[in-house]
Amino acid sequence: MEFTVLERLLLGSLLPEKESFVNMKIVSALRNEISFSEEEHKQLNFVQEGEQMKWENAGIVKEIKIGDIGMSIFKKVLEKLDENGDITPQICALCEKLGVFDDNTKGE
């Protein structure tokens, strides 16, 4: 599945800080996959302004494979956000893209 810069930042922010030992290995692998390379940093020219992150060249996308366990981790976090009424429009779009509230929750 291809993800934009914003989607990758959102995905990274959704990954849990604590998890079971086995799942933490998957979380770490996902964090590495979602993160930005030095080349991408140079292209995007990230700038932190207060609580907002800004960048250039927003057309950059990256193919990221999220397996069944990774999807279940994201689904658990997103369901918790949904229960608390904390789904923003950007996270809602990400939920739809991932299909976390559909019957089919498997990544590509």
pLDDT tens track for 47-98: 999 989 899 976 889 999 999 999 999 999 999 999 999 999 999 999 999 9
Give the per-residue pLDDT at 107.
Answer: 45
Residue of 41, 37, 66, 38 whose CA lies nearest to 53: 41
Residue 59's domain spans which residues? Answer: 2-98
**81, part of any domain:** yes
pTM score, two decimals?
Answer: 0.85
**Distance set, CA 87 to CA 15, 80, 90, 108 (Å):** 15, 9, 8, 23
**104, part of any domain:** no
Q: Which residue has the higher pLDDT, 84 or 105?
A: 84
- List of residues 6+ apart from 94 with CB closer than 8 A: 7, 10, 11
Number of domains in the chain: 1
**11, part of any domain:** yes
**41, part of any domain:** yes
**7, part of any domain:** yes
**108, part of any domain:** no
Question: For the chain, what is the mean pLDDT?
Answer: 90
**106, part of any domain:** no
